[in-house]
Amino acid sequence: MSLIDAAREVRENAHAPYSNFKVGAAIRAASGAVFQGCNVENVAYPEGTCAEAGAIAAMVAAGEREIAEVAVIADSPKPVSPCGGCRQKLAEFGARDVPVTLATLDGTVLKTTVGDLLPGAFDQAYMSKV
């Protein structure tokens, strides 16, 4: 199964009763293992949690710490981009050149990288004096 297919599959599990906007994400870790996440909304936080954050949490819970590839899919007119918080999380666990595929259900695809999504990402180099 391709990474975008894994994201498409988990998107169906999204809990989006407020927005009806389902997003799926899949991450391939450096080990080759694939982790999936979908958005989850709730009454106290109707914006919900992001699909990418869910996939990262699953990866970390499994003991993995390095992202090799990312895919995100939604039923939108153009490929959906990760929010700012998820971009920072992707940068925390993935190198700048990690490929990111953003897709729509109708087949539109945008290929980018973690570095292009978040230029100037905060990283450990900023804390070198600590």
Ordered by start, the domain boundaries in the chain are 3-127
Q: What is the pLDDT of residue 25?
A: 98
Average pLDDT over residues 29-54: 90
The answer to whether the CB of 102 falls within 8 A of the CB of 110 is yes
Instruction: Using pLDDT thresholds of 50, 70 and 90, give the confidence band for residue 120.
Output: confident
Say which residues have a Cβ less than 8 Å from residue 47's Cβ, sequence separation at least 6.
19, 41
pTM of the predicted structure, to 2 decimals: 0.92
- Known binding residue 44? Answer is yes
Q: Is residue 47's pLDDT more than 80?
A: no
Provide the annotated active-site residues: 52
Instruction: Using pLDDT thresholds of 50, 70 and 90, give the confidence band for residue 126.
Output: confident
- Known binding residue 42? Answer is yes
Q: What is the pLDDT of residue 123?
A: 80
Say which residues have a Cβ less than 8 Å from residue 15's Cβ, sequence separation at least 6.
38, 39, 40, 41, 42, 48
**Domain 3-127 classified CATH 3.40.140.10?**
yes
